[in-house]
Amino acid sequence: MQRMESVPPTHDEPAVLVLVANLGSTSFKYRLYDMSNERCLARGAVERIGDAESRCMVSIGDWADERIMSVPDHGVAVEACLDQLTDPEHGVLKDASEVAAIGFKAVHGGRLSGVFRVTAEVLEAMAEMNAAAPAHNPPYIAAMKAMQQRFADLPLVAAFETDFHQSIPAARKEYAIPRDWANEFHIRKWGFHGASHRYIATRTAELLGRDDARVISCHLGGSSSLTAIHHGKSVMTTMGMTPQTGLPQNNRVGDFDPFALPLIIERTGLTLAQTLTRLASEGGLLGLSGRSGDIRDVEQAAEQGDAGSQLALDVFVEEIRRHLGGMLVALGGADAIVFAGGIGENDAMIRGRVCAGLEEFGIVADSAANESLKGETTFHAPSSRTALWVIPTNEEIIVARQTVSALHPA
């Protein structure tokens, strides 16, 4: 099967309208792009899919619409969003047939890592990884199948999150496990958040005016990962075989010793599946704080003296710094450290703590700039050899570009 690279469209390409889909088990979030100029025409979401009263929201310019209706599945969700996009008065489409394709920010394809038109083979490869990505792959597979049935002539494209990390050297992505397991079951450090890290690589090259920069991309949010980037390519990342690994997430455990599992199972009487479910839903910041997986709630509780919440923040910061240090060694230093994601873009305290005490490495933050920044900007001090950036990420435009590439492969 041919693998397709992501390339920005040229100015002489005809208009191509691409709907980018980001799915949850009961949600459908989307953006509609005109890829002739990469302009976002509309964005929206359908929440509570499967309920009798689902919420269908869209924003087009200054117009916003919200409808309550029954949306039994993701196929109906797409129909609902297309109805809003073709609204006679405010819509941006005359007819749903104007959409050239739907691009999915797919998660784990195992033996398939790249950008592919959705076929039976692609769905089969995703299903093989259901156990590794139980919160992500099954909803995507179900939605893709439903959309294929309802929109038989509409191309669907899967842009896998693992694709950006294929350039990582073998020494940094292989586990020290029996080789037959690695080869037969595709067990290795795949890495995720690929669309976000790819966007940061592309945008940082534009801002620095060079494509050979050493960049550490810190995508910090509900789920978080760091990626070391050189010459625009991923050379190290924190997430491994599954999105459960690496840094502590909002409610996912992050890195964890698998040999602790037998002890937990023995002492609690839980099954392996139940234990993994708790690690995936009651771990991370939620598990450490005992209060919340939302870092805003955790910070507020820590300010009020809650010890568990303070511990959660301390562990989160220390894990970021531990991986940051490894990436500085791998890169031989950094030309830029970039913060993105909900936490990376909005949490000055976390950014400040991550960068504190790194003057010997040429990393010096400007505290006042860090506290007051908004949008895409720097916050390093004049004496810093490493540029410190906040760059709001745009995963959707990356998927839109990849979708165009899949429609018109070289």
Binding-site residues for Mg(2+) sit at 22, 395
Q: Which two tokens stand for residue 287?
A: 């598990």
Beta bridge partners of 117: 157
Euclidean distance between CA atoms 212 and 195, whole angstroms: 19
233-237: strand order across its sheet: 233-237, 225-230, 214-219, 336-340, 387-390, 377-378
Q: Which residues are annotated binding-site positions for ATP?
A: 29, 294-296, 342-346
Euclidean distance between CA atoms 377 and 391, whole angstroms: 7
Euclidean distance between CA atoms 271 and 258, whole angstroms: 14
Euclidean distance between CA atoms 200 and 58, whole angstroms: 27
Closest by CA position to 129, among listed 160, 151, 153: 160
Q: Which residues are annotated binding-site positions?
A: 22, 29, 294-296, 342-346, 395
- DSSP collapsed to 3 states, the chain: CCCCCCCCCCCCCCCCEEEEEEEECCEEEEEEEECCCCEEEEEEEEECCCCCCEEEEEEECCEEEEEEECCCCHHHHHHHHHHHHCCCCCCCCCCHHHEEEEEECCCCCCCCCCEEECCHHHHHHHHHCCCCCCCCHHHHHHHHHHHHHHCCCCCEEEECCCHHHHHCCHHHCCCCCCHHHHHHHCCCCCCCCHHHHHHHHHHHHHHHCCCCCEEEEEECCCCCEEEEEECCEEEEECCCCCCCCCCCCCCCCCCCCHHHHHHHHHHHCCCHHHHHHHHHHCCHHHHHHCCCCCHHHHHHHHHCCCHHHHHHHHHHHHHHHHHHHHHHHHHCCCCEEEEEHHHHHHCHHHHHHHHCCCHHHCCCECHHHHHHCCCCEECECCCCCCEEEECCCCHHHHHHHHHHHHHCCC
Euclidean distance between CA atoms 205 and 184, whole angstroms: 37
Q: Which amino acid is at 292?
A: S
